[in-house]
Chain A
Amino acid sequence: MKRRQVMALAAGLGLAASLMGTTAMAQDKTRIALVVKALGIGFFEAAAKGAEEAAAELGDVEIIYTGPTDTTAEGQIEVINSLIAQGVDAIAISANDPDALVPALKKAMDRGITVISWDSGVAPEGRQMHLNPSSNELIGRMIIKLAADNLPDQTGEVAVLSASATATNQNIWIEEMKKAMPDYPNIKLLGVVYGDDLADKSYREAMGLIQSYPELDAIIAPTSVGIVAAAQAVTDAGKIGQINVTGLGLPSEMAGHVKSGASKSFAIWNPIDLGYSATMIAYHLARGEAEAQPGAEIPIGRMGKVTLDETNAAAMAEPFVYDASNIDQFKDIF
């Protein structure tokens, strides 16, 4: 018991010393804490890379990349409290829980710390703004563009393999995709089938599409289970080169199918861009160069700018396209 106390004291002293050290060192630098769901996750390591890139571009920024060791709200609250104690200028967080973090983040804002959430959001009262990787409209436009761009003269027949018929996200994306279809007059949408995000049902539905529509040119699957199953079905049916599988997926899961040619390209957010943009926004807000209010426009360096909506949320960009040229770089990240 006694031993533990001594050790805790020693650790506390050490921490205090290191805190004083950093404060003294980085007096004139804007210190932005990038708080992630948990350390050691490829996606967030990549986001931290993006944050460092933004810091290098801005010059007077110090990035503190931190997070709990497992994905819990409690762990993040501890991290936030320690960041408040360190007196950072801004916190950019991907939250493990939208509500549980609100009191801790409110405390941070009361101390004059800029708080934004990115990737996984916090309830509006717990942050100044939230950065979404993309928006429903941009995703809908992207998935049809991916299919069309790989067809000669943007002409051909496509079908959608979705998750379940009641999946909200997928239904909105497909709706947005249909709205964007007038831009591609020569693309014919044959139908939408549902694989319920089960590998076997998605595979069977994809096989059904291949059998029913001999003229099928592309399968669009805006779901990570579906796109992998469809790519496998196209491979097994010997239709590589004839039917292109595209949609939303993760590079680590799709790497094999991009290599085999079953999928020429697919999209998902780019974590590097996301960390970069979150850092840019946190910087501009912390320096008072921009204000987080509905309708405000905040510049995000090479990514352009974002516009805040009525809940102070903004969409970064359209999903990032992955293909044979960059899949190897990203397949180990997420």
Chain B
Amino acid sequence: MRLTRLLTTREALLAAAIALMLALIASRFPAFVAPGNLVAVFNDTAPLIILAIGQMVVILTRCIDLSVAATLALTGMVVAMLNLAHPDLPVAAILAIAVALGCGLGMINGLLVWKLDIPPIVVTLGTMTIYRGAAFLISGGKWVNAHEMSDAFKAFPRTQILGMPVMSWIAILVVVVLAVLLARTETGRAFFAAGGNPDAATYAGIDVGRTRFLAFALSGALAGLVGYLWVARYAVAYVDLAAGFELDVVAACVIGGVAIMGGVGSVAGAVLGALFLGVIKNALPVIDVSPFWQMAISGAAIIIAVILNAKAGRARGRIILRQTEAVQ
């Protein structure tokens, strides 16, 4: 009970921080908080939200997936080239291929972690390079450009439904599905258990390796989904697509209160962490801050979040101790 309350306050704190930031930005550039622009900011942050949720599930199991941006780039390149070769392929098929391919790439990560017992950071550091290399190989370093993509391919993520682009709706759908999955299903609870205390989880009958494998497959599938959305939205596919974006994804999780040591995190936290970064990214260009300060501000936000996390972590420890004492 106290734990839940603590988590809610953490997320409330983050929401308050975002609101404060919006107020500060509005004082310098009022148009930023116009409803239309807030929708645009949310839409711009949608890829980060989707990836952050996938990453959160992986981190919950005490792993990390550094290959998300490379998976995104490879999948994006594949679907873009597929669209170039077969312009008539329906978007539904493209979406299915993107998700399946991303899932497959995630499964490779998962298998290496599960069956060969290699540390996840090493596995995904390796596959990160391999996936980007593969994107280079299949494309020969060439770009797929706006005029080479079919109109339907480019139009899908920006189609407006009830005042919001499809890309935003997909992010919302992912948030809802994952929230239910994590809170209401056996597999969902297993993610928490596998990372919170792998030994206890094993005793409870949870296959920790298999759970991690599923987490990687999920993260890969979401990265594949974003791969298509990304190339369609920016109407260009090239090898260095989303270079370094995996760090933003991990940062969003950390800011959102996902414990890097596993077991602790919430969908709401990851979403808020992503939104926090999204608001900064979208606001800095309009409030005319020098690019060097932009980097410093983004970095400071991450450090502050980590400090808060560390404090929250300690508090949690104490609570558990007290509870144990109370039981004794």
Over the window 273-304 of chain B, the binary record of Cβ atoms lying under 8 Å from chain A Cβ atoms (1 yes, 0 no) is: 00000000110111010111000000000000
Say whether, besides A252-B145, A256-B147, A204 and B291 are in contact (CB < 8 Å): no
Q: Among B148, B236, B243, B292, point to the contact of A228 (Cβ < 8 A).
A: B236
B242 adjacent to chain A (CB < 8 Å): yes
Please indicate the chain B residues that have their CB under 8 angstroms from the CB of A205 in the complex: 285
Interface pair B234/A200, CB less than 8 Å apart: yes
B169 adjacent to chain A (CB < 8 Å): no
Interface pair B145/A256, CB less than 8 Å apart: yes
Counting contact residues on chain B (CB < 8 A from A), the size range is 20 to 34
Say whether, besides A191-B288, A207-B285, A232 and B158 are in contact (CB < 8 Å): no
Interface pair A257/B286, CB less than 8 Å apart: no
Q: Among B147, B234, B284, point to the contact of A199 (Cβ < 8 A).
A: B234
- Residue from B31, B143, B245 with most neighbouring chain A CB atoms (10 Å): B143
Please indicate the chain A residues that have their CB under 8 angstroms from the CB of B31 in the complex: 211
Please indicate the chain A residues that have their CB under 8 angstroms from the CB of B143 in the complex: 252-253
Please indicate the chain A residues that have their CB under 8 angstroms from the CB of B44 in the complex: 204, 207
Q: Among B145, B230, B238, B242, point to the contact of A255 (Cβ < 8 A).
A: B145
Counting contact residues on chain A (CB < 8 A from B), the size range is 20 to 34
- Whole-angstrom distance between the alpha carbons of A211 and B245 in the complex? 25
A212 adjacent to chain B (CB < 8 Å): yes
Interface pair B285/A204, CB less than 8 Å apart: yes
A208 adjacent to chain B (CB < 8 Å): yes
Interface pair B145/A228, CB less than 8 Å apart: yes
Say whether, besides A211-B37, A256-B235, A204 and B145 are in contact (CB < 8 Å): no
Interface pair A212/B288, CB less than 8 Å apart: yes
Interface pair B29/A236, CB less than 8 Å apart: no
Interface pair B37/A199, CB less than 8 Å apart: no
- Whole-angstrom distance between the alpha carbons of A256 and B150 in the complex? 11
Interface pair B145/A232, CB less than 8 Å apart: no
Interface pair A232/B286, CB less than 8 Å apart: no
A194 adjacent to chain B (CB < 8 Å): yes
Interface pair B292/A253, CB less than 8 Å apart: no
B251 adjacent to chain A (CB < 8 Å): no
A39 adjacent to chain B (CB < 8 Å): no
B14 adjacent to chain A (CB < 8 Å): no
Interface pair B281/A204, CB less than 8 Å apart: yes
Interface pair B236/A165, CB less than 8 Å apart: no
Q: Among A165, A209, A229, A232, point to the contact of B292 (Cβ < 8 A).
A: A165
- Whole-angstrom distance between the alpha carbons of A197 and B236 in the complex? 13
Q: Among B146, B230, B238, B245, point to the contact of A232 (Cβ < 8 A).
A: B146
B241 adjacent to chain A (CB < 8 Å): yes
Interface pair A256/B285, CB less than 8 Å apart: no
With CB as the reference atom, state the residue of chain B lying closest to A213.
B286
Q: Nearest-CB distance from B287 to chain A (Å)?
A: 8
Interface pair A208/B234, CB less than 8 Å apart: no
Q: Nearest-CB distance from A199 to chain B (Å)?
A: 4
- Whole-angstrom distance between the alpha carbons of A194 and B284 in the complex? 11
- Whole-angstrom distance between the alpha carbons of A204 and B234 in the complex? 10
Q: Nearest-CB distance from A96 to chain B (Å)?
A: 14
Q: Which 3 A/B pairs are nearest by Cβ-Cβ distance?
A: A208-B285, A256-B147, A256-B146
Q: Could you jot down 17 A-B contacts, CB within 8 Å?
A: A164-B291, A193-B291, A197-B240, A199-B236, A200-B245, A204-B281, A207-B44, A211-B32, A211-B286, A212-B29, A229-B236, A236-B158, A253-B236, A254-B145, A255-B146, A257-B146, A331-B147
6 more contacts with CB within 8 A, not counting A198-B244, A228-B236, are: A194-B291, A199-B234, A204-B281, A204-B282, A255-B145, A255-B147
